[in-house]
Structure 1
Amino acid sequence: MKANRARWPIARMARLLGVSTSGFYAWLVREPSQQASSDALLLARIRTLHASSRGTSGAPRIHAQLAREGMHVGRKRVARLMRMAGLCGASRRRWPRTTRQRAGARRAPDLVRRHVQR
């Protein structure tokens, strides 16, 4: 509603969303909740740890680092904040699982005489 209030009347948006207009205006001046402010502080620390690892640490490693520092937060909370901030760890590359034939390589002789159609 806040983003679209220049385009649409607040009363119409409130009616369509099933909320009161007074509730919207009360929400505008209300301070952030304790969890929201705590999440902001935690996200700042997560960003610092993620940057110090050059973007390689994911949620499990950052959670472990926070636990070593004495911050007791849940791994899923760390993962949620990282996901919302667009932070992700680097994963190892998987080797190709298919075998490719070199260009110009000879075929192995068919010792079993299978008569395979190619």
Structure 2
Amino acid sequence: MRYGMIDTLRQQYPVALMCRVLDVSESGFHAWNTRPPCEREQKNARLVIEILTAHQRTRETYGVKRLHSELVDQGVQITAYRVRALRKKLNLRCKQKRKFKVTTDSKHHLPFAPNILKREFAVSALAKRGSAISPIFLQTKDWLYSFWHKRAI
């Protein structure tokens, strides 16, 4: 923990000063810095790659249990607890499909509105269908536009 902090701050502060402040030896820091990662960290690095590929292969929908069984089927030796810990470290989340919610209540006994248009959406004459809608005029730089006619007046 201390060595990691020294390593991240070594560009701003001298290593000797930080080792003195944190009460660690300089030689211990340099030994930690040159030491290869432990076997568990190396295996975790390989497992992270396996988990990421399995997560993408399953379209990011599998949780810990299904992802664990998927990895075991692929021949990877890993426990579900380790899958959970690595997923948490990688901040992987499942894409959960939302439940369909019915928004229309068609089983009611209220009267229906009359179908005035009868699915005839083509208008033959101006203002035949939308007589209640008035044309909107917009004046821009001495031009008056009618959005109804889509032309300059």
Question: What is the TM-score of this pair, normalised by structure 2?
Answer: 0.55
2:85 to 70, 80, 84: 80
Structure index of larger Rg:
2
Q: How does 1:98-117 map to 2 (within 5 A)?
A: none
CA–CA separation in structure 2 for the residues paired with 1:12 and 1:89: 45
2:8 to 3, 9, 15: 3
Aligned residue pairs, count: 98
Structure 1: give runs of 5+ residues left out of the alignment. Answer: 97-118
**Of Structure 1 and Structure 2, which has the larger fraction of its residues in helix?**
1
2:38 aligns with 33
Question: Aligned-pair RMSD on alpha carbons?
Answer: 2.3
- Match for 1:86: what amino acid? N
Which stretches of structure 1, 4 residues or longer, exceed 6 Å deviation after superposition?
Answer: none
2:53 aligns with 48
CA–CA separation in structure 2 for the residues paired with 1:33 and 1:26: 14
Structure 2: give runs of 5+ residues left out of the alignment. Answer: 1-5, 102-153
CA drift of 1:16 comes to 3.5
- Match for 2:70: what amino acid? Q
**Of Structure 1 and Structure 2, which has the larger fraction of its residues in strand?**
2
